[in-house]
C-alpha cells in the first residue's frame, strides 16, 4: 500500500520483533486463527481480536502488550471523529454534512479568499475530497500534516492553504470514478474536530466520552490536543483493543447499542458509501472517514470497511459475515505496516470468518 495513514504526532519507532502470543483465547469451534497469524511471522504486533455473530472468536496479545493497555491507533481516530460528526447532526449542532465550513470560523482571517473555500462543506473534509492543496502522502504538499504540527493555529493553517489544481497529465476530476479526487488530508479532519467543538461548546474528547464512550462502557481513553487546546480529531487516540472492537460492533449494528441509537443509522449508511477512488491498486475507495477494501477469498469478493492508521492499526467491519476485527501494532512508519495487517486480515482472519459462517 502506498498510503502512510500518517498522524505521526508523538511517533515512536518500536524495535521489538515477533513474540509468542500471550493471553490467547479462541472459541472451541473457531478455526486456528492464532496459528495462521504465527505463520505470517508478523513484527511489532500488539493484538488481534475477532468477533462474529456477537461472539468473541479470537483474542491474542503480543510483544508484552496486554488487554488493559491503551494503544495509540493513530489515524484510525479519524473514524471516531466521523462518527461524532454524525452524532452532532443528530444533536442539532449541524444541519447536515453539507453545511459550509467557513461560517463557523468567521474569526479566522483568510489571506487568500477563493470561491472554492466559500463553497467548501464538511462532506468535502470528511470524504478527503476537499478543494485545498492538502495531501499527507506528498511531502511537497503545503498541507502535509507534519507541516501543520509545526504551527499553533491548525484552523488558520488549513483554511489559508491554496486551492489545489488537477495536474494536466492526470485524469480530469469529472472523469474520475465517483467524480471526486481523493487526497488524504489530516488537517481537514482536525478542522472538523474544531468545528464540532465550536458548534457544541464541548471538547470533542468530552463530547465523545459523554455521547459514545460511556454508553459503550469505555472507561479509559487518551486524546491529543494542539497548542490552542483543540482536540486532535485526526489521530493519536489511545484506547484498549477490546474497546475499539466495541466501536466496530456499534457500526456493524448501524449505530445501535443495546437498544440505544448512539449514532444515526442513516449516518452509518452514508459513512460506508464510496465517494472517491482512494487506492486504485487495491480497488479501495473512501467514504466519510472510512475505507472500503474488497478482498478476494476463495474466489469470492468480500467487502470490508476499515478505520486505519499508521503502524498497521485497523478496525475492520464485515457486514456480509456479521463480523468485526481489530489489529493493533506499533510498526509506526515502517514500509511493511499496512501490508502486514492486511495480510493478517486476508490470510488469517477472513478465511476463518468464512469457515465459521458456512458452519453456522
Shared-domain flag, residues 307 and 349: yes
pLDDT of residue 22: 55
Global pTM exceeds 0.85: yes
Which cell is 208 given?
465523545
Residue 321 placed within a domain = yes
* Residue 4 in this model has a pLDDT that exceeds 50: no
Nearest to 116 by CA among 173, 194, 196: 173
Shared-domain flag, residues 120 and 64: no
pLDDT of residue 32: 87
Shared-domain flag, residues 121 and 230: no
pLDDT tens digits for range 229-263 = 999 999 999 999 999 999 999 999 999 999 999 99
Averaged pLDDT, 80-102: 98
pLDDT of residue 24: 53
Shared-domain flag, residues 339 and 275: yes
- CA distances in angstroms from 131 to 94, 101, 104, 120, 339, listed in the order given: 21, 12, 18, 7, 30
Q: Are 263 and 250 in contact, with CB atoms under 8 Å apart?
A: yes
Which cell is 162 given?
491554496
Shared-domain flag, residues 95 and 43: no
Residue 208 placed within a domain = no
Residue 9 placed within a domain = no
Structural domain span for residue 154: 84-196
Shared-domain flag, residues 238 and 351: yes
Q: pLDDT tier at 338 (50, 70, 90 boundaries)?
A: very high
Shared-domain flag, residues 253 and 176: no
Averaged pLDDT, 173-193: 95
Residue 146 placed within a domain = yes
Q: pLDDT tier at 167 (50, 70, 90 boundaries)?
A: confident
Shared-domain flag, residues 224 and 344: yes
pLDDT of residue 31: 63
pLDDT tens digits for range 49-85 = 999 999 999 999 999 999 999 999 999 999 999 999 9
Q: State percent of the chain over pLDDT 70.
A: 91
Shared-domain flag, residues 345 and 232: yes
Phi/psi of residue 347, each to 5°? -105, -20
The per-type count for the chain, helices as H runs and strands as E runs, is 13, 13
Q: Are 93 and 196 in contact, with CB atoms under 8 Å apart?
A: yes
pLDDT of residue 17: 30
Q: pLDDT tier at 30 (50, 70, 90 boundaries)?
A: low
* Residue 13 in this model has a pLDDT that exceeds 80: no
pLDDT of residue 6: 41
Shared-domain flag, residues 269 and 351: yes
pLDDT tens digits for range 264-314 = 999 999 999 999 999 888 889 999 999 999 999 888 899 999 999 999 999
Residue 238 placed within a domain = yes
For the chain, the domain total comes to: 2
Averaged pLDDT, 97-117: 96
Please report which helix (H) or strand (E) contains residue 197, including its range. helix 186-200
Say how far residue 250 (Cα) sits from the centre of its chain: 14
Shared-domain flag, residues 344 and 239: yes
pLDDT tens digits for range 343-358 = 999 999 999 999 988 8
What's the chain's average pLDDT?
92
R_g of the chain computed on alpha carbons: 20
Residue 279 placed within a domain = yes
Shared-domain flag, residues 142 and 188: yes
* Residue 11 in this model has a pLDDT that exceeds 90: no
Q: pLDDT tier at 201 (50, 70, 90 boundaries)?
A: very high
Q: Are 159 and 102 in contact, with CB atoms under 8 Å apart?
A: yes
CATH code for the domain of 333: 3.40.710.10
Phi/psi of residue 222, each to 5°? -135, 140
Averaged pLDDT, 193-217: 98
Amino acid at each position: 500500500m502506498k498510503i502512510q495513514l500518517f498522524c505521526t504526532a508523538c511517533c515512536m519507532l518500536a524495535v521489538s520483533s515477533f513474540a509468542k502470543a500471550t493471553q490467547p483465547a479462541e472459541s472451541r469451534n473457531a478455526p486456528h486463527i492464532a496459528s495462521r497469524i504465527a505463520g505470517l511471522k508478523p513484527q511489532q504486533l500488539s493484538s488481534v481480536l475477532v468477533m462474529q455473530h456477537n461472539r468473541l472468536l479470537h483474542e491474542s496479545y503480543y510483544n508484552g502488550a496486554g488487554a488493559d493497555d491503551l494503544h495509540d491507533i493513530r489515524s484510525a481516530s479519524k473514524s471516531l471523529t466521523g462518527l461524532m460528526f454524525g452524532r452532532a447532526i443528530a444533536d442539532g449542532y449541524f444541519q447536515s454534512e453539507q453545511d459550509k465550513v467557513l461560517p463557523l470560523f468567521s474569526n479566522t482571517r483568510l489571506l487568500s479568499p477563493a470561491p472554492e473555500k466559500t463553497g467548501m462543506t464538511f462532506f468535502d473534509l470528511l470524504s478527503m475530497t476537499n478543494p485545498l492543496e492538502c495531501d499527507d502522502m506528498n511531502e511537497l504538499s503545503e498541507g502535509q500534516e507534519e507541516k501543520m504540527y509545526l504551527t499553533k493555529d491548525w484552523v488558520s493553517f488549513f483554511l489559508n492553504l491554496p486551492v489545489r489544481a488537477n495536474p494536466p497529465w492526470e485524469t480530469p476530476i469529472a472523469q474520475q470514478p465517483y467524480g471526486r479526487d481523493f487526497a488524504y488530508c489530516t488537517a481537514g479532519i482536525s478542522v472538523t474536530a474544531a468545528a464540532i467543538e465550536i458548534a457544541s461548546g464541548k471538547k470533542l474528547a468530552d463530547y465523545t466520552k459523554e455521547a459514545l464512550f460511556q454508553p459503550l462502557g469505555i472507561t479509559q481513553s487518551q486524546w491529543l490536543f494542539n497548542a490552542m487546546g483543540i482536540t486532535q480529531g485526526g489521530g493519536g487516540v489511545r484506547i484498549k483493543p477490546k474497546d475499539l472492537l466495541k466501536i466496530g460492533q456499534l457500526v456493524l449494528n448501524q449505530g445501535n447499542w443495546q437498544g440505544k441509537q448512539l449514532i444515526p443509522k442513516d449516518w452509518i449508511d452514508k459513512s460506508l458509501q464510496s465517494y472517491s477512488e482512494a487506492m486504485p491498486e487495491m480497488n479501495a475507495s473512501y467514504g466519510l472517514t472510512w475505507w472500503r477494501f474488497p478482498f478476494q477469498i476463495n474466489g469470492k469478493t468480500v467487502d470490508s470497511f476499515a478505520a486505519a492508521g499508521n503502524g498497521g492499526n485497523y478496525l475492520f467491519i464485515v457486514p456480509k459475515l456479521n463480523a468485526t476485527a481489530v489489529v493493533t501494532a506499533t510498526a509506526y512508519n515502517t514500509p511493511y505496516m499496512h501490508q502486514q495487517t492486511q495480510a493478517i486480515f486476508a490470510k488469517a482472519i477472513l478465511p476463518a470468518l468464512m469457515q465459521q459462517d458456512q458452519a453456522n
